[in-house]
């Protein structure tokens, strides 16, 4: 099998899994209990927190464990909205955010009287910091912009947007799910107040994530219960998953430089070969300011799912747009925001590489896809009428 | 997600292609929605003597096109008009709920081709 869908999820690193195991079984204790064995569990959680903090250039006290990226985004956005609703009711975000941000904003619009500005992007998917500045009004209390887009890989000017937020005393949340563990992140340099990450996007377990909350930044909890995570995200700690996330962060730090240079070579080769071999395709996303593992293309006159199915028959796993949108009939909201016509957006494929990929994977994919496209174009009324 | 039957029709579509000088062409769907089906028919003695399709769309769109052409081939126009989307779904042993519209598109495509043929006939007389 050739797995080229790492932006959807990654396999849990066996070293991570090994590290997690004993916290399910012999070290199953609740970190909140007071006997010695529980204290070991408590220490394991705090050790994991340190590792997460180090990955982000934050301090341990600034890290809250959550169930993943979606929850981190929900807590940051809803938690800020609840706290600051009397100060203002205007949120700035972008058209290309993940649904775990967009649908939270839509919830606030519908149910809590918030007004949301969805900023456009240029044809590469870049948000203009000037547009952020212009969208600010006296009611603006929150800006939420992603660090890099999951579908096209475009990396946003977070540092500049963060500066604007700071100057205007507006809370800034950044959905960092696609960059954490992939590229170096310093929350200090980025000027962010909140930063979301998810374990399974960088070889950690599923069901665990974290939210960075800058020291001094407040929010109203979304969940209520016990004292865990300072009462900001109560619930008995998922110790094995937290340990796993910590380990994944540690490994990411070690391997990041090597992963990025290797995957970039493979991604660039795949891009080059596909552009050479398939007429009338479009490469989406920014040519340089793009995640090194991501390639998104639109193949004109062919529909994405049919290409995806044929690739699957060959044992190649990719996605069309985003895995989250595969179940819907709408073309990707991200590609539409780039100005791509809907009929072309339907023909999108996303390849996202990871640690296990080899040049042989790239060669096989680049051999197989042109044949698939040719076959499907023969079937397509539009290709035949050209 | 898809049945074996559907995947077979998707992999090996029956009657795929175009008929030059077709007696009737049904063009349905919308590229904006991601599904377009063109059905071509050749009619002899009120019977569908030949039928082909060209489709831009997902796996279900290709498979439903393939099935509708198989169901209609050799039938009289009157019989062919009675083929419904449910007949297509039955052959495919079910369709995911989100893809039901593909079977409707196939039904509409065939009916549009027959209507096109009839209109052309009327115009001749």
Question: Residue A81 is inside which H or E element, if any?
Answer: helix A69-84
Q: Where are the domains of chain B?
A: 4-124
Q: Residue A262 has what pLDDT? A: 98
Q: Residue B31 has what pLDDT? A: 84
Helices (H), A278-341: 304-313, 333-337
pLDDT in tens, B21-75: 999 999 999 888 889 999 999 999 999 999 999 999 999 999 999 999 999 999 9
Q: How far apart are CA B122 and CA A230, in angstroms?
A: 80
Burial class (CB in 10 A: 0-12, 13-18, 19+), A265: middle
Which CATH number goes with the domain that contains A223? Answer: 3.40.640.10
Put simply, whether B41 touches A (Cβ < 8 Å) is no
ipTM of the complex: 0.94
Active site annotation includes A12? no
Nearest to B62 among A341, A346, A379 (CB): A379
Residues A317 and A233 in one domain: no
Cβ within 8 Å, pair B33-A329: yes
**How many structural domains compose chain A?**
2
Residues 6+ away with beta carbon under 8 Å from B87: B71
Q: Residue B124 has what pLDDT? A: 87
CA distance B100 to chain A (A): 12
**Domain end marker among A209, A236, A251:** A251
Q: Which residues on chain A place their C-beta less than 8 Å from a C-beta of chain B?
A: 301-303, 305-306, 309, 313, 327-329, 331, 341-343, 346, 378-382, 384
Instruction: Give the residue ranges of chain A where pLDDT is below 70.
Output: 321-329, 384-386
Q: Residue A385 has what pLDDT? A: 66
**Does residue A238 contact residue A48 with C-beta atoms inside 8 Å?**
no
Cα angle, residue A300 at apex, residues B30 and B110 outer, rounded to 5°? 35
Which DSSP state fits A148? B
Fold of B4-124: Sufe protein. Chain: A (3.90.1010)
Q: Residue A325 has what pLDDT? A: 47
pTM for this predicted structure:
0.95
Comparing CA positions, the residue from A165, A220, A221 lying closest to residue A191 is A165
Residues A244 and A309 in one domain: no
Put simply, whether B119 touches A (Cβ < 8 Å) is no
Comparing CA positions, the residue from A178, A111, A113 lying closest to residue A151 is A178
Q: Residue A327 has what pLDDT? A: 57
pLDDT in tens, A38-74: 999 999 999 999 999 999 999 999 999 999 999 999 9
Residues A262 and A247 in one domain: no
Residues of B in contact with A378 (CB under 8 A): 16-17
**Domain end marker among A251, A273, A303:** A251
> Average pLDDT over chain B, rounded to whole?
95
Question: Where in the sequence is the domain holding A323, given as residue range(s)?
Answer: 2-6+256-384
Residues of B in contact with A384 (CB under 8 A): 18, 54
């Amino acid at each position: 099998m050739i797995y080229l869908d790492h932006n959807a999820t990654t396999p849990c690193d066996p070293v991570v899994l090994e590290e997690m195991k004993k916290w399910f079984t012999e070290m199953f204790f609740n970190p909140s209990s007071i006997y010695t064995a529980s204290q070991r569990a408590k220490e394991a959680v705090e050790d994991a927190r340190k590792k997460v903090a180090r990955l982000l250039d934050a301090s341990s006290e600034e890290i809250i464990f959550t169930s993943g990226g979606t929850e981190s985004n929900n807590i940051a956005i809803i938690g800020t909205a609840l706290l600051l609703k009397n100060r203002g009711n205007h949120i700035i975000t972008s058209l290309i955010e993940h649904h775990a941000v967009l649908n939270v904003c839509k919830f606030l619009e519908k149910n809590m009287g918030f007004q949301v500005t969805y900023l456009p992007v240029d044809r590469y998917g870049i948000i203009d910091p000037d547009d952020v500045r212009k969208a600010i009004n006296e009611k603006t209390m929150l800006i939420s912009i992603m660090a890099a887009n999951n579908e096209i890989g475009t990396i946003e000017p977070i540092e500049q947007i963060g500066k604007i937020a700071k100057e205007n005393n507006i809370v800034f949340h950044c959905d960092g799910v696609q960059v954490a563990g992939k590229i170096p992140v310093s929350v200090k340099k980025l000027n962010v107040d909140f930063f979301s990450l998810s374990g399974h996007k960088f070889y950690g377990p599923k069901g665990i994530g974290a939210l960075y909350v800058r020291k001094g930044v407040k929010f109203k909890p979304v969940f209520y219960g016990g004292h865990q995570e300072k009462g900001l995200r109560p619930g008995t700690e998922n110790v094995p998953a937290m340990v796993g996330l910590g380990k994944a962060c540690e490994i990411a730090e070690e391997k990041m430089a090597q992963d990025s240079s290797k995957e970039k070579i493979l991604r660039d080769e795949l891009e080059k070969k596909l552009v050479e071999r398939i007429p009338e395709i479009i490469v989406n996303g920014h040519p340089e300011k793009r995640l090194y593992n991501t390639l998104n293309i639109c193949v004109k006159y062919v529909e994405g799912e049919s290409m995806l199915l044929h690739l699957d028959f060959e044992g190649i796993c990719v996605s069309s747009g985003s895995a989250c949108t595969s179940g819907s009939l709408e073309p990707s909201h991200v590609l539409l925001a780039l100005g791509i016509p809907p009929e072309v957006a339907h023909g999108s494929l996303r390849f996202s590489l990871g640690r296990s990929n080899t040049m042989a994977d790239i060669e096989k994919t680049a051999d197989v896809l042109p044949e698939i496209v040719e076959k499907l174009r023969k079937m397509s009324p539009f290709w035949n009428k050209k | 997600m898809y049945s074996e039957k559907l995947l077979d029709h998707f992999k090996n579509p029956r009657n795929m292609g175009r008929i030059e000088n077709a007696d009737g062409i049904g063009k349905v769907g919308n590229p904006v929605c991601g599904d377009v089906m063109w059905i071509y028919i050749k009619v002899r003695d009120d019977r569908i003597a030949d039928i082909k399709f060209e489709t831009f769309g997902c796996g279900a769109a290709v498979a439903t096109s393939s099935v509708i052409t198989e169901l209609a081939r050799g039938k009289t126009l009157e019989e062919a008009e009675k083929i419904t989307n449910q007949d297509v779904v039955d052959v495919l042993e079910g369709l995911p709920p989100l893809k039901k519209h593909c079977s409707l598109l196939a039904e509409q495509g065939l009916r549009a081709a027959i209507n096109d043929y009839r209109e052309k006939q009327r115009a001749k007389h």
